[in-house]
Protein backbone atom coordinates (compact mmCIF):
# COMPACT_ATOMS: atom_id res chain seq x y z
CA UNK A 1 0.00 0.00 0.00
CA UNK A 2 1.03 3.59 -0.52
CA UNK A 3 2.72 5.41 2.36
CA UNK A 4 1.16 8.67 1.20
CA UNK A 5 -1.70 9.81 3.44
CA UNK A 6 -4.89 10.79 1.67
CA UNK A 7 -7.68 13.11 2.72
CA UNK A 8 -10.36 12.49 0.10
CA UNK A 9 -11.31 9.74 -2.32
CA UNK A 10 -9.94 11.77 -5.21
CA UNK A 11 -6.49 11.74 -3.55
CA UNK A 12 -6.25 7.94 -3.55
CA UNK A 13 -3.38 6.17 -5.25
CA UNK A 14 -3.93 2.94 -7.17
CA UNK A 15 -3.16 0.66 -4.20
CA UNK A 16 -4.41 2.77 -1.29
CA UNK A 17 -7.32 0.52 -0.24
CA UNK A 18 -7.45 -3.18 0.62
CA UNK A 19 -10.36 -5.55 1.19
CA UNK A 20 -11.07 -7.89 4.09
CA UNK A 21 -13.57 -10.53 3.07
CA UNK A 22 -15.83 -11.85 5.81
CA UNK A 23 -18.06 -14.08 3.67
CA UNK A 24 -16.87 -17.15 5.58
CA UNK A 25 -17.76 -15.56 8.93
CA UNK A 26 -20.25 -12.70 8.80
CA UNK A 27 -21.71 -13.93 5.53
CA UNK A 28 -22.22 -17.42 6.93
CA UNK A 29 -24.17 -15.92 9.84
CA UNK A 30 -27.05 -15.19 7.46
CA UNK A 31 -30.03 -17.48 8.13
CA UNK A 32 -29.83 -20.83 6.36
CA UNK A 33 -26.14 -20.68 5.37
CA UNK A 34 -23.71 -23.32 6.65
CA UNK A 35 -20.50 -24.02 4.75
CA UNK A 36 -18.48 -27.21 4.84
CA UNK A 37 -14.70 -27.21 5.08
CA UNK A 38 -14.40 -27.95 1.36
CA UNK A 39 -16.82 -25.15 0.49
CA UNK A 40 -14.89 -22.67 2.62
CA UNK A 41 -11.68 -23.80 0.94
CA UNK A 42 -13.24 -23.31 -2.50
CA UNK A 43 -14.38 -19.78 -1.68
CA UNK A 44 -11.06 -18.92 -0.04
CA UNK A 45 -9.16 -19.97 -3.16
CA UNK A 46 -11.45 -17.84 -5.33
CA UNK A 47 -10.88 -14.88 -3.01
CA UNK A 48 -7.14 -15.39 -3.29
CA UNK A 49 -7.44 -15.63 -7.08
CA UNK A 50 -9.21 -12.25 -6.95
CA UNK A 51 -6.27 -10.75 -5.03
CA UNK A 52 -8.31 -10.07 -1.87
CA UNK A 53 -5.80 -9.21 0.85
CA UNK A 54 -7.55 -10.53 3.99
CA UNK A 55 -9.82 -13.56 4.44
CA UNK A 56 -11.70 -13.93 7.72
CA UNK A 57 -12.15 -17.71 7.75
CA UNK A 58 -14.64 -18.01 10.61
CA UNK A 59 -15.03 -17.84 14.39
CA UNK A 60 -12.76 -20.34 16.10
CA UNK A 61 -14.83 -20.11 19.28
CA UNK A 62 -17.98 -21.44 17.58
CA UNK A 63 -17.28 -25.19 17.68
CA UNK A 64 -14.75 -27.91 17.02
CA UNK A 65 -16.26 -28.33 13.58
CA UNK A 66 -15.80 -24.64 12.81
CA UNK A 67 -12.17 -24.87 13.87
CA UNK A 68 -11.69 -27.71 11.38
CA UNK A 69 -13.08 -25.53 8.58
CA UNK A 70 -10.72 -22.69 9.56
CA UNK A 71 -7.75 -25.08 9.60
CA UNK A 72 -8.80 -26.21 6.11
CA UNK A 73 -8.44 -22.60 4.93
CA UNK A 74 -5.16 -21.96 6.75
CA UNK A 75 -3.69 -25.09 5.15
CA UNK A 76 -4.14 -23.67 1.63
CA UNK A 77 -1.01 -21.49 1.72
CA UNK A 78 -2.89 -18.46 0.43
CA UNK A 79 -1.27 -15.14 -0.34
CA UNK A 80 -4.05 -13.50 1.70
CA UNK A 81 -3.78 -12.92 5.44
CA UNK A 82 -6.15 -15.44 7.06
CA UNK A 83 -7.89 -14.40 10.28
CA UNK A 84 -10.38 -15.62 12.86
CA UNK A 85 -13.09 -13.59 14.57
CA UNK A 86 -12.58 -13.49 18.36
CA UNK A 87 -14.67 -12.18 21.20
CA UNK A 88 -13.04 -10.20 24.00
CA UNK A 89 -11.94 -13.28 25.96
CA UNK A 90 -8.51 -14.90 26.07
CA UNK A 91 -9.83 -18.39 25.31
CA UNK A 92 -11.02 -17.20 21.88
CA UNK A 93 -7.51 -15.98 21.07
CA UNK A 94 -6.06 -19.34 22.13
CA UNK A 95 -8.57 -21.22 19.96
CA UNK A 96 -7.64 -19.02 17.01
CA UNK A 97 -3.96 -19.77 17.60
CA UNK A 98 -4.77 -23.49 17.51
CA UNK A 99 -6.16 -22.96 14.00
CA UNK A 100 -2.84 -21.51 12.80
CA UNK A 101 -4.36 -18.25 11.58
CA UNK A 102 -2.25 -15.23 10.67
CA UNK A 103 -4.31 -12.82 12.70
CA UNK A 104 -7.48 -12.09 14.62
CA UNK A 105 -10.40 -9.70 14.39
CA UNK A 106 -10.95 -8.93 18.06
CA UNK A 107 -14.48 -7.65 18.65
CA UNK A 108 -15.15 -5.64 21.81
CA UNK A 109 -18.32 -3.71 22.70
CA UNK A 110 -18.18 0.01 21.92
CA UNK A 111 -21.70 1.35 22.51
CA UNK A 112 -23.19 1.56 26.00
CA UNK A 113 -26.03 -0.61 24.76
CA UNK A 114 -23.55 -3.42 24.12
CA UNK A 115 -21.22 -2.69 27.06
CA UNK A 116 -23.94 -2.63 29.69
CA UNK A 117 -26.85 -4.51 28.15
CA UNK A 118 -25.03 -7.27 26.28
CA UNK A 119 -21.91 -8.10 28.32
CA UNK A 120 -22.74 -6.41 31.64
CA UNK A 121 -19.47 -4.52 31.84
CA UNK A 122 -18.27 -0.93 32.02
CA UNK A 123 -16.34 1.33 29.66
CA UNK A 124 -13.25 1.16 31.86
CA UNK A 125 -13.30 -2.64 32.02
CA UNK A 126 -13.66 -2.93 28.24
CA UNK A 127 -10.64 -0.67 27.70
CA UNK A 128 -8.48 -2.67 30.11
CA UNK A 129 -9.60 -6.02 28.69
CA UNK A 130 -8.84 -4.79 25.19
CA UNK A 131 -5.35 -3.67 26.22
CA UNK A 132 -4.59 -7.04 27.78
CA UNK A 133 -5.92 -9.12 24.87
CA UNK A 134 -4.17 -7.07 22.20
CA UNK A 135 -0.87 -7.31 24.05
CA UNK A 136 -1.32 -11.07 24.48
CA UNK A 137 -2.22 -11.68 20.82
CA UNK A 138 0.70 -9.59 19.62
CA UNK A 139 3.07 -11.49 21.91
CA UNK A 140 1.93 -14.65 20.10
CA UNK A 141 2.86 -13.14 16.73
CA UNK A 142 -0.66 -12.41 15.47
CA UNK A 143 -1.82 -9.54 13.29
CA UNK A 144 -4.51 -7.82 15.38
CA UNK A 145 -7.48 -5.72 14.38
CA UNK A 146 -9.76 -4.40 17.11
CA UNK A 147 -13.41 -4.02 16.09
CA UNK A 148 -15.45 -1.59 18.16
CA UNK A 149 -18.79 -3.36 17.88
CA UNK A 150 -21.76 -1.03 17.34
CA UNK A 151 -19.27 1.80 16.99
CA UNK A 152 -21.68 3.92 14.96
CA UNK A 153 -23.98 4.13 18.00
CA UNK A 154 -21.16 4.65 20.50
CA UNK A 155 -20.15 7.86 22.24
CA UNK A 156 -17.44 8.98 19.82
CA UNK A 157 -15.36 10.40 22.68
CA UNK A 158 -15.28 6.95 24.24
CA UNK A 159 -14.63 5.35 20.83
CA UNK A 160 -11.52 7.52 20.55
CA UNK A 161 -10.39 6.34 24.00
CA UNK A 162 -10.90 2.69 22.98
CA UNK A 163 -9.02 3.14 19.70
CA UNK A 164 -6.13 4.94 21.38
CA UNK A 165 -5.82 2.19 24.00
CA UNK A 166 -5.87 -0.48 21.26
CA UNK A 167 -3.00 1.12 19.37
CA UNK A 168 -1.00 1.75 22.53
CA UNK A 169 -1.23 -1.98 23.27
CA UNK A 170 0.10 -2.80 19.79
CA UNK A 171 -2.98 -3.28 17.60
CA UNK A 172 -2.35 -3.13 13.86
CA UNK A 173 -5.61 -1.35 13.17
CA UNK A 174 -8.99 -0.35 14.58
CA UNK A 175 -12.27 -1.01 12.79
CA UNK A 176 -15.16 1.45 12.81
CA UNK A 177 -18.16 -0.88 12.70
CA UNK A 178 -21.66 0.15 11.66
CA UNK A 179 -22.86 -3.16 13.07
CA UNK A 180 -26.59 -2.65 12.56
CA UNK A 181 -26.50 -0.52 9.41
CA UNK A 182 -27.67 2.49 11.39
CA UNK A 183 -25.32 5.28 10.36
CA UNK A 184 -25.55 8.03 7.79
CA UNK A 185 -22.52 8.69 5.53
CA UNK A 186 -21.76 11.77 7.61
CA UNK A 187 -21.69 9.76 10.84
CA UNK A 188 -19.38 7.16 9.29
CA UNK A 189 -17.09 9.91 8.04
CA UNK A 190 -16.93 11.53 11.47
CA UNK A 191 -16.36 8.25 13.30
CA UNK A 192 -13.56 7.11 11.01
CA UNK A 193 -11.94 10.55 11.13
CA UNK A 194 -11.91 10.57 14.90
CA UNK A 195 -10.45 7.10 15.48
CA UNK A 196 -8.10 7.49 12.51
CA UNK A 197 -5.96 10.03 14.33
CA UNK A 198 -4.48 7.16 16.38
CA UNK A 199 -3.61 4.66 13.63
CA UNK A 200 -4.82 2.70 10.56
CA UNK A 201 -8.60 2.31 10.34
CA UNK A 202 -10.90 -0.16 8.62
CA UNK A 203 -14.63 0.25 8.04
CA UNK A 204 -17.38 -2.36 8.40
CA UNK A 205 -20.80 -1.47 6.99
CA UNK A 206 -24.20 -3.16 6.69
CA UNK A 207 -27.00 -2.50 4.22
CA UNK A 208 -30.04 -2.09 6.47
CA UNK A 209 -30.65 1.40 5.07
CA UNK A 210 -29.34 0.58 1.60
CA UNK A 211 -26.26 2.68 2.34
CA UNK A 212 -23.57 0.01 2.67
CA UNK A 213 -21.49 1.01 -0.38
CA UNK A 214 -22.02 4.72 0.25
CA UNK A 215 -20.96 4.35 3.88
CA UNK A 216 -17.90 2.29 2.92
CA UNK A 217 -16.84 5.04 0.51
CA UNK A 218 -17.53 7.66 3.19
CA UNK A 219 -15.21 5.75 5.51
CA UNK A 220 -12.50 5.64 2.84
CA UNK A 221 -12.97 9.35 2.21
CA UNK A 222 -12.30 9.90 5.92
CA UNK A 223 -9.08 7.87 5.79
CA UNK A 224 -10.01 4.18 6.17
CA UNK A 225 -7.73 2.03 4.03
CA UNK A 226 -9.36 -1.37 4.58
CA UNK A 227 -13.00 -2.32 3.90
CA UNK A 228 -14.77 -5.33 5.43
CA UNK A 229 -17.13 -6.89 2.87
CA UNK A 230 -18.85 -10.10 1.82
CA UNK A 231 -19.27 -11.56 -1.65
CA UNK A 232 -22.74 -10.76 -3.02
CA UNK A 233 -23.42 -8.77 0.15
CA UNK A 234 -24.66 -11.84 2.06
CA UNK A 235 -24.88 -11.49 5.83
CA UNK A 236 -27.22 -10.91 8.72
CA UNK A 237 -30.46 -9.00 8.15
CA UNK A 238 -30.08 -6.97 4.93
CA UNK A 239 -26.49 -8.12 4.56
CA UNK A 240 -23.02 -6.59 4.49
CA UNK A 241 -21.52 -4.31 1.89
CA UNK A 242 -20.90 -6.34 -1.30
CA UNK A 243 -17.21 -6.89 -1.96
CA UNK A 244 -17.62 -6.84 -5.73
CA UNK A 245 -19.53 -3.54 -5.61
CA UNK A 246 -16.87 -1.83 -3.49
CA UNK A 247 -14.10 -3.20 -5.71
CA UNK A 248 -15.77 -2.00 -8.92
CA UNK A 249 -16.69 1.40 -7.45
CA UNK A 250 -13.08 1.97 -6.38
CA UNK A 251 -11.71 0.80 -9.73
CA UNK A 252 -14.21 2.55 -11.99
CA UNK A 253 -14.60 5.83 -10.12
CA UNK A 254 -11.18 6.30 -8.50
CA UNK A 255 -8.69 4.07 -10.38
CA UNK A 256 -8.01 2.11 -7.18
CA UNK A 257 -7.20 -1.59 -7.60
CA UNK A 258 -8.45 -3.28 -4.44
CA UNK A 259 -9.04 -6.61 -6.22
CA UNK A 260 -8.74 -8.30 -9.61
CA UNK A 261 -12.05 -7.22 -11.11
CA UNK A 262 -11.95 -9.83 -13.88
CA UNK A 263 -12.24 -12.55 -11.23
CA UNK A 264 -15.32 -11.04 -9.55
CA UNK A 265 -18.09 -12.78 -11.51
CA UNK A 266 -16.54 -16.21 -11.05
CA UNK A 267 -16.24 -15.42 -7.33
CA UNK A 268 -19.86 -14.23 -7.13
CA UNK A 269 -21.30 -17.29 -8.87
CA UNK A 270 -19.18 -19.62 -6.74
CA UNK A 271 -20.53 -18.07 -3.52
CA UNK A 272 -24.09 -18.15 -4.87
CA UNK A 273 -23.68 -21.86 -5.60
CA UNK A 274 -22.14 -22.93 -2.27
CA UNK A 275 -24.51 -20.82 -0.15
CA UNK A 276 -27.59 -21.65 -2.23
CA UNK A 277 -28.44 -17.93 -2.23
CA UNK A 278 -29.21 -16.94 -5.84
CA UNK A 279 -28.07 -13.66 -7.31
CA UNK A 280 -30.89 -11.14 -7.80
CA UNK A 281 -31.20 -10.45 -11.54
CA UNK A 282 -30.87 -6.68 -11.07
CA UNK A 283 -27.84 -6.89 -8.76
CA UNK A 284 -24.92 -4.60 -9.62
CA UNK A 285 -21.84 -6.26 -11.16
CA UNK A 286 -23.01 -9.89 -10.98
CA UNK A 287 -26.78 -9.88 -11.58
CA UNK A 288 -28.16 -11.58 -14.68
CA UNK A 289 -29.45 -8.28 -16.07
CA UNK A 290 -26.36 -6.16 -15.34
CA UNK A 291 -25.19 -6.45 -18.95
CA UNK A 292 -28.42 -7.53 -20.65
CA UNK A 293 -30.23 -5.34 -23.18
CA UNK A 294 -33.76 -5.82 -24.53
CA UNK A 295 -35.01 -2.35 -25.45
CA UNK A 296 -34.65 -1.75 -29.17
CA UNK A 297 -33.19 1.72 -28.59
CA UNK A 298 -30.65 0.44 -26.06
CA UNK A 299 -29.71 -2.60 -28.13
CA UNK A 300 -29.21 -0.54 -31.27
CA UNK A 301 -27.08 1.98 -29.37
CA UNK A 302 -25.01 -0.74 -27.71
CA UNK A 303 -24.33 -2.46 -31.05
CA UNK A 304 -23.07 0.85 -32.43
CA UNK A 305 -21.02 1.73 -29.34
CA UNK A 306 -20.55 -0.81 -26.54
CA UNK A 307 -20.24 1.95 -23.94
CA UNK A 308 -23.47 3.65 -25.05
CA UNK A 309 -25.57 2.11 -22.27
CA UNK A 310 -22.95 0.53 -20.01
CA UNK A 311 -20.66 2.26 -17.47
CA UNK A 312 -17.88 -0.27 -18.07
CA UNK A 313 -17.40 -3.35 -20.21
CA UNK A 314 -18.72 -6.71 -18.96
CA UNK A 315 -15.32 -8.26 -19.67
CA UNK A 316 -13.84 -6.03 -16.94
CA UNK A 317 -15.62 -8.17 -14.34
CA UNK A 318 -15.35 -11.50 -16.16
CA UNK A 319 -18.71 -11.35 -17.92
CA UNK A 320 -20.25 -11.15 -21.40
CA UNK A 321 -22.93 -8.87 -22.79
CA UNK A 322 -26.35 -10.41 -23.54
CA UNK A 323 -28.98 -9.25 -26.00
CA UNK A 324 -32.36 -10.31 -24.62
CA UNK A 325 -35.39 -10.63 -26.85
CA UNK A 326 -38.91 -9.68 -25.81
CA UNK A 327 -41.65 -7.19 -26.55
CA UNK A 328 -39.14 -4.29 -26.54
CA UNK A 329 -36.88 -5.91 -29.15
CA UNK A 330 -35.87 -3.98 -32.26
CA UNK A 331 -34.51 -4.91 -35.68
CA UNK A 332 -30.87 -4.42 -34.76
CA UNK A 333 -31.08 -6.64 -31.70
CA UNK A 334 -32.96 -9.44 -33.46
CA UNK A 335 -30.59 -9.34 -36.43
CA UNK A 336 -27.57 -9.50 -34.11
CA UNK A 337 -29.10 -12.40 -32.16
CA UNK A 338 -29.73 -14.34 -35.38
CA UNK A 339 -26.20 -13.62 -36.57
CA UNK A 340 -24.84 -15.21 -33.39
CA UNK A 341 -26.43 -18.45 -34.66
CA UNK A 342 -25.24 -17.91 -38.26
CA UNK A 343 -28.77 -17.23 -39.52
CA UNK A 344 -29.10 -14.64 -42.28
CA UNK A 345 -32.47 -13.07 -43.12
CA UNK A 346 -33.72 -10.59 -45.69
CA UNK A 347 -35.18 -7.25 -44.64
CA UNK A 348 -38.72 -8.56 -45.12
CA UNK A 349 -37.97 -11.75 -43.20
CA UNK A 350 -36.36 -9.73 -40.42
CA UNK A 351 -39.48 -7.56 -40.10
CA UNK A 352 -41.62 -10.70 -39.78
CA UNK A 353 -39.29 -12.27 -37.19
CA UNK A 354 -39.22 -9.05 -35.15
CA UNK A 355 -43.02 -8.86 -35.09
CA UNK A 356 -43.37 -12.48 -33.98
CA UNK A 357 -40.76 -11.94 -31.25
CA UNK A 358 -42.69 -8.89 -30.03
CA UNK A 359 -45.98 -10.84 -30.11
CA UNK A 360 -44.44 -13.61 -28.03
CA UNK A 361 -43.04 -11.07 -25.58
CA UNK A 362 -46.41 -9.32 -25.29
CA UNK A 363 -47.84 -12.58 -23.94
CA UNK A 364 -45.44 -12.34 -21.02
CA UNK A 365 -42.98 -14.91 -22.33
CA UNK A 366 -39.23 -14.40 -22.40
CA UNK A 367 -38.05 -15.30 -25.90
CA UNK A 368 -35.26 -17.85 -25.73
CA UNK A 369 -32.71 -18.66 -28.42
CA UNK A 370 -34.66 -21.80 -29.24
CA UNK A 371 -37.82 -19.72 -29.73
CA UNK A 372 -35.98 -17.27 -31.99
CA UNK A 373 -34.50 -20.00 -34.18
CA UNK A 374 -37.86 -21.75 -34.46
CA UNK A 375 -39.49 -18.47 -35.52
CA UNK A 376 -36.77 -17.85 -38.12
CA UNK A 377 -37.13 -21.38 -39.49
CA UNK A 378 -40.89 -20.89 -39.86
CA UNK A 379 -40.57 -17.46 -41.48
CA UNK A 380 -38.06 -18.78 -44.00
CA UNK A 381 -40.04 -21.97 -44.64
CA UNK A 382 -37.16 -24.14 -43.52
CA UNK A 383 -37.49 -27.42 -41.72
CA UNK A 384 -35.78 -27.51 -38.38
CA UNK A 385 -32.38 -29.13 -38.31
CA UNK A 386 -32.44 -32.84 -37.60
CA UNK A 387 -32.06 -33.47 -33.89
CA UNK A 388 -28.75 -34.90 -32.79
CA UNK A 389 -29.50 -35.35 -29.10
CA UNK A 390 -32.86 -36.27 -27.56
CA UNK A 391 -34.11 -37.53 -24.18
CA UNK A 392 -35.87 -40.90 -24.45
CA UNK A 393 -36.33 -41.81 -20.82
CA UNK A 394 -35.50 -40.45 -17.35
CA UNK A 395 -35.89 -41.78 -13.83
CA UNK A 396 -34.80 -40.10 -10.62
CA UNK A 397 -35.03 -40.90 -6.92
CA UNK A 398 -34.08 -38.88 -3.86
CA UNK A 399 -35.91 -40.28 -0.85
CA UNK A 400 -34.00 -41.84 2.04
CA UNK A 401 -30.50 -41.85 0.59
CA UNK A 402 -28.16 -40.43 -2.00
CA UNK A 403 -30.14 -38.87 -4.87
CA UNK A 404 -29.71 -40.94 -8.04
CA UNK A 405 -30.89 -40.68 -11.63
CA UNK A 406 -30.61 -42.63 -14.86
CA UNK A 407 -31.19 -41.40 -18.39
CA UNK A 408 -31.64 -42.97 -21.79
CA UNK A 409 -30.84 -40.58 -24.61
CA UNK A 410 -30.43 -40.81 -28.35
CA UNK A 411 -27.23 -39.35 -29.80
CA UNK A 412 -27.49 -39.35 -33.60
CA UNK A 413 -28.54 -42.97 -34.34
CA UNK A 414 -27.25 -44.44 -31.09
CA UNK A 415 -29.11 -44.99 -27.83
CA UNK A 416 -27.10 -44.48 -24.66
CA UNK A 417 -27.86 -45.00 -20.99
CA UNK A 418 -26.05 -43.65 -17.96
CA UNK A 419 -26.60 -43.11 -14.25
CA UNK A 420 -25.42 -40.47 -11.83
CA UNK A 421 -25.62 -39.25 -8.24
CA UNK A 422 -25.75 -35.72 -6.88
CA UNK A 423 -26.84 -33.38 -4.12
CA UNK A 424 -30.44 -33.63 -5.41
CA UNK A 425 -32.39 -35.33 -8.22
CA UNK A 426 -31.68 -32.53 -10.72
CA UNK A 427 -27.96 -32.60 -9.92
CA UNK A 428 -27.94 -36.39 -10.24
CA UNK A 429 -29.77 -36.23 -13.57
CA UNK A 430 -27.28 -33.69 -14.93
CA UNK A 431 -24.42 -35.99 -13.90
CA UNK A 432 -26.09 -38.84 -15.78
CA UNK A 433 -26.54 -36.67 -18.90
CA UNK A 434 -22.88 -35.62 -18.84
CA UNK A 435 -21.82 -39.27 -18.54
CA UNK A 436 -24.07 -40.32 -21.44
CA UNK A 437 -22.71 -37.57 -23.67
CA UNK A 438 -19.11 -38.61 -23.19
CA UNK A 439 -16.71 -35.95 -24.46
CA UNK A 440 -19.35 -33.29 -25.13
CA UNK A 441 -18.26 -30.53 -22.74
CA UNK A 442 -20.66 -27.73 -21.81
CA UNK A 443 -21.14 -25.11 -19.11
CA UNK A 444 -24.48 -24.44 -17.42
CA UNK A 445 -24.27 -20.67 -17.04
CA UNK A 446 -27.63 -19.96 -15.45
CA UNK A 447 -30.58 -22.00 -14.23
CA UNK A 448 -33.97 -20.52 -13.33
CA UNK A 449 -37.16 -22.20 -12.18
CA UNK A 450 -40.60 -20.57 -12.10
CA UNK A 451 -43.92 -22.14 -11.16
CA UNK A 452 -46.47 -21.32 -13.86
CA UNK A 453 -49.45 -22.99 -12.21
CA UNK A 454 -50.43 -23.31 -8.57
CA UNK A 455 -51.07 -26.26 -6.28
CA UNK A 456 -49.12 -29.36 -5.41
CA UNK A 457 -49.17 -30.49 -9.06
CA UNK A 458 -47.81 -27.17 -10.31
CA UNK A 459 -46.21 -27.02 -13.73
CA UNK A 460 -42.77 -25.44 -13.60
CA UNK A 461 -40.81 -23.70 -16.30
CA UNK A 462 -37.06 -24.24 -16.27
CA UNK A 463 -34.87 -21.86 -18.24
CA UNK A 464 -31.18 -22.60 -18.76
CA UNK A 465 -28.28 -20.80 -20.39
CA UNK A 466 -25.80 -23.31 -21.78
CA UNK A 467 -22.40 -22.52 -23.29
CA UNK A 468 -20.28 -24.76 -25.48
CA UNK A 469 -17.07 -23.34 -26.85
CA UNK A 470 -17.78 -19.75 -27.84
CA UNK A 471 -21.51 -20.23 -28.39
CA UNK A 472 -24.29 -19.76 -25.84
CA UNK A 473 -28.01 -20.51 -26.10
CA UNK A 474 -30.94 -20.02 -23.76
CA UNK A 475 -33.70 -22.65 -23.78
CA UNK A 476 -36.75 -23.25 -21.60
CA UNK A 477 -38.88 -26.33 -20.94
CA UNK A 478 -42.03 -26.90 -18.91
CA UNK A 479 -43.17 -29.98 -17.02
CA UNK A 480 -44.88 -30.97 -13.79
CA UNK A 481 -41.59 -32.65 -12.83
CA UNK A 482 -38.70 -30.24 -12.26
CA UNK A 483 -36.06 -32.88 -13.02
CA UNK A 484 -37.66 -33.75 -16.35
CA UNK A 485 -37.99 -30.08 -17.30
CA UNK A 486 -34.37 -29.43 -16.35
CA UNK A 487 -32.96 -32.32 -18.37
CA UNK A 488 -35.14 -31.50 -21.37
CA UNK A 489 -34.02 -27.87 -21.36
CA UNK A 490 -30.32 -28.74 -21.13
CA UNK A 491 -30.51 -31.44 -23.82
CA UNK A 492 -32.50 -29.15 -26.14
CA UNK A 493 -29.82 -26.48 -25.64
CA UNK A 494 -27.06 -28.94 -26.48
CA UNK A 495 -28.95 -30.04 -29.57
CA UNK A 496 -28.83 -26.42 -30.72
CA UNK A 497 -25.12 -26.13 -29.91
CA UNK A 498 -23.94 -29.27 -31.72
CA UNK A 499 -23.20 -28.85 -35.45
CA UNK A 500 -25.81 -30.17 -37.88
CA UNK A 501 -25.12 -33.72 -39.08
CA UNK A 502 -24.69 -32.66 -42.69
CA UNK A 503 -22.24 -29.88 -41.85
CA UNK A 504 -18.83 -30.24 -43.45
CA UNK A 505 -16.32 -31.38 -40.87
CA UNK A 506 -19.05 -32.60 -38.55
CA UNK A 507 -17.88 -33.27 -35.01
CA UNK A 508 -18.50 -36.80 -33.82
CA UNK A 509 -20.18 -37.17 -30.46
CA UNK A 510 -17.85 -39.65 -28.81
CA UNK A 511 -19.36 -42.38 -26.70
CA UNK A 512 -18.47 -42.42 -23.02
CA UNK A 513 -15.59 -44.62 -21.95
CA UNK A 514 -16.66 -48.21 -21.46
CA UNK A 515 -19.85 -47.80 -23.47
| Distance in angstroms (rounded) separating the CA atoms of residues 514 and 302 | 49
| Distance in angstroms (rounded) separating the CA atoms of residues 101 and 81 | 8
Q: What angle is formed at CA 459 by the lines to CA 456 and CA 463, rounded to 5 degrees? A: 135
Q: How far is CA 11 from CA 20, 253, 256, 323, in A?
A: 22, 12, 10, 38
**Looking at residues 449-462, what average pLDDT do you find?**
70
Measure CA of the first residue to CA of the last residue in the chain; give whole Å: 57
Top pLDDT among 19 and 290 is at: 19
> Where does the pLDDT of residue 377 fall: very low under 50, low under 70, confident under 90, or very high at 90 and above?
confident
CATH number 1.10.1840.10 given to 13-275:
no
* In contact, 102 and 137? CB cutoff 8 Å: no
Q: What angle is formed at CA 444 by the lines to CA 281 and CA 40, rounded to 5 degrees? A: 80
Who contacts 146 (Cβ-Cβ below 8 Å, separation ≥6)?
Answer: 106, 108, 130, 134, 162, 163, 166, 171, 173, 174, 175
Sign of the alpha-carbon torsion through 144, 145, 150, 154: positive
Element (H, E) at 491: helix 482-497
**Looking at residues 509-515, what average pLDDT do you find?**
56
Give the model's pLDDT for residue 290: 84
> Where does the pLDDT of residue 76 fall: very low under 50, low under 70, confident under 90, or very high at 90 and above?
very high
Q: How far is CA 238 from CA 78, 107, 148, 241, 409, in A?
A: 30, 21, 20, 9, 45
Give the model's pLDDT for residue 2: 45
Q: How far is CA 383 from CA 149, 386, 476, in A?
A: 67, 8, 21
| Distance in angstroms (rounded) separating the CA atoms of residues 117 and 402 | 47
| Distance in angstroms (rounded) separating the CA atoms of residues 94 and 75 | 18
Question: Quick one: what percent of the chain has pLDDT higher than 90?
Answer: 58
In the chain, ranges of CATH 3.30.160.270 domains: 389-497
CA-nearest of 508, 512, 497, 471 to 387 is 497
Q: Count H helices, E strands: the chain?
A: 16, 16
**Looking at residues 70-95, what average pLDDT do you find?**
97
Give the model's pLDDT for residue 504: 46
> Where does the pLDDT of residue 34 fall: very low under 50, low under 70, confident under 90, or very high at 90 and above?
very high
* In contact, 488 and 392? CB cutoff 8 Å: no
Report whether pLDDT(296) > 70: no
In the chain, ranges of CATH 3.20.20.70 domains: 13-275
**Looking at residues 233-240, what average pLDDT do you find?**
97
Report whether pLDDT(30) > 80: yes
Query: Chain-wide mean pLDDT for the chain?
Result: 88
* In contact, 318 and 266? CB cutoff 8 Å: yes
Report whether pLDDT(4) > 60: no
Q: How far is CA 156 from CA 110, 130, 159, 255, 474, in A?
A: 9, 17, 5, 32, 54
Superfamily for 389-497? Alpha-isopropylmalate synthase LeuA, regulatory domain (3.30.160.270)
Report whether pLDDT(3) > 70: no
CA-nearest of 172, 245, 257, 170 to 205 is 245
Give the model's pLDDT for residue 509: 61
User: pLDDT tens for residues 168-189?
Assistant: 999 999 999 999 999 999 999 9
> Where does the pLDDT of residue 11 fall: very low under 50, low under 70, confident under 90, or very high at 90 and above?
confident
What is 234-296 written as a DSSP string? --STT-B-BHHHHHHHHHHHH---SS-GGGHHHHHHHHHHHHT-PPPTT-TTTSTTTTEE-SH
**Looking at residues 135-146, what average pLDDT do you find?**
98
Amino acid sequence: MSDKPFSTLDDLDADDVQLLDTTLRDGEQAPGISLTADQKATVARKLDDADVDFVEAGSACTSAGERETIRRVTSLDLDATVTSFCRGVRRDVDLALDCDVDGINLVVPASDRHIEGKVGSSREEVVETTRDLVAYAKSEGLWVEVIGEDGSRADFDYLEELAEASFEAGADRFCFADTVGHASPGEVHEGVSRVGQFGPVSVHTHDDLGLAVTNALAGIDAGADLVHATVNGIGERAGNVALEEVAVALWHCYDVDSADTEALYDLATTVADVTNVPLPPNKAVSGENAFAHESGIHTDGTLKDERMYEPYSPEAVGRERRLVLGKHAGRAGVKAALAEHDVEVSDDELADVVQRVKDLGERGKRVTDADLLAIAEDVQGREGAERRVEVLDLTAASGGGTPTASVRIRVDDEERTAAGTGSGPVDAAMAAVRDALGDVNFHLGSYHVDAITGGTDAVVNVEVEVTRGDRTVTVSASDSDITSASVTAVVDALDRLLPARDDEGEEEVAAPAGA
